Amino acid sequence: MKTVTTLVALRTETERLRQGGSLALVPTMGALHEGHLTLVRKARSQADHVAVSIFVNPKQFGPNEDLDAYPRQLARDSELLEAEGVALLWAPTPGEMYPAGYATSISVEGVSAGLCGADRPGHFDGVATVVCKLFNQVRPDMAFFGEKDWQQLAVIRRMARDLDLLFPPADAIYGVPIVREGDGLAMSSRNAYLSVEQRKQATALPASMRRAIAALAKGAGVPGVLEQLTGDILAAGFDSVDYAELRDAESLAPPGPASGNLRLFVAARIGGTRLIDNMPLA
């Protein structure tokens, strides 16, 4: 595996790899876990070569968020990726990604509004901007994202279609199902912030969501179920619930006569750590 940190070196390596077949990109912020490695394995199954990017993107963190605290463990991540047969690790510095005078931002309307977009103003502009840059830098044939960040995936798909980034966007952007711990908690780099006690309490998030989905399947009314869900999460030790909402899985619009498949989306905070999860209705 080659590790590159400059755009010049990246261009040389990606040209070389593309001559030997198709190239997949797996964008990450590092602190890798089985969720990320599942994306890498899926990418390896679809492409001749896999490039992984590790970049903790300052533009997607709000002023009071965890940019400084976000775990950075490049040496360990690099070993994990090497063992997975990754061909290229793209690990730019913030200065390489956003040189002095940088002034461009991408904003994706519609799907960015609501849910995490409401709680984290500017977050999806930061994600769209860096992912667009990553696509232009690496020029992959396909890219892989996790369904844990379902709204992020919807934003990236919309952007790729609107800006003709990957072709054909419907096939070139893969969504990979959520990888969970044995007790149901969605894997996330931020789980490392949890104390032993909070980690136990955190299992209430997916468990309460599954109960809510079962209640809806039995015909219980949506407002009551969402109220109960919020109450269950708080009773388990979470400090707050940012949102607990049903949305159309594709458009992310609130449920209505035109809704197709619905999905349950939750974000909740425990001891300063913000966890997200989503599940389809049964």
Ligand X SMILES: Nc1ncnc2c1ncn2[C@@H]1O[C@H](COP(=O)(O)OP(=O)(O)OP(=O)(O)O)[C@@H](O)[C@H]1O
- Number of residue whose CB is nearest ligand PAF: 27
Rg of the chain on CA atoms, in Å: 19
**Helix (H, G, I), strand (E, B), or coil: what is residue 142?**
strand
Q: Which is nearer to ligand PAF, 49 or 148 (CB)?
A: 148
Q: How far is the CB of 28 from ligand PAF (least distance, A)?
A: 5
Residue ranges in 128-157 that form contacts with ligand BAL under rule CB under 6 A: 149, 152
Binding-site ranges for ligand X (CB under 6 A): 28-29, 35-36, 39, 145-146, 148-149, 176, 178-179, 186-190
Q: How far is the CB of 250 from ligand BAL (least distance, A)?
A: 20
| Cα angle, residue 35 at apex, residues 108 and 13 outer, rounded to 5° | 70
Query: Which option in ligand PAF, ligand BAL, ligand X, none does residue 178 bind, with CB closer than 5 to 8 A by kind?
Result: ligand X
**Which amino acid appears at position 269 of this protein?**
R
**Helix (H, G, I), strand (E, B), or coil: what is residue 102?**
coil
Rounded Cα–Cα distance for residues 168 and 176 (Å): 18
Rounded Cα–Cα distance for residues 169 and 275 (Å): 29
Q: How many residues bind ligand BAL (CB under 6 A)?
A: 3
Rounded Cα–Cα distance for residues 194 and 185 (Å): 12
**Which amino acid appears at position 84 of this protein?**
E
Q: How far is the CB of 86 from ligand X (least distance, A)?
A: 14
Contact criterion met (CB below 8 Å) for 204 and 194: no
Q: How far is the CB of 220 from ligand BAL (least distance, A)?
A: 31
Query: Which option in ligand PAF, ligand X, ligand BAL, none does residue 176 bind, with CB closer than 5 to 8 A by kind?
Result: ligand X
Is 49 in the active site?
no
Contact criterion met (CB below 8 Å) for 135 and 23: no
Near ligand BAL by CB under 6 A: residue from 60, 78, 201, 278: 60
| Residue in 14, 27, 36, 90 annotated catalytic | 36
Q: Classify residue 39 as exposed, middle or buried by CB count within 10 Å of its CB (0-12, 13-18, 19+).
A: buried
Near ligand PAF by CB under 6 A: residue from 38, 57, 188, 208: 57
Q: Which is nearer to ligand BAL, 149 or 277 (CB)?
A: 149
Residues in touch with ligand PAF (CB under 6 A): 27-29, 57, 60, 127, 130-131, 149, 152
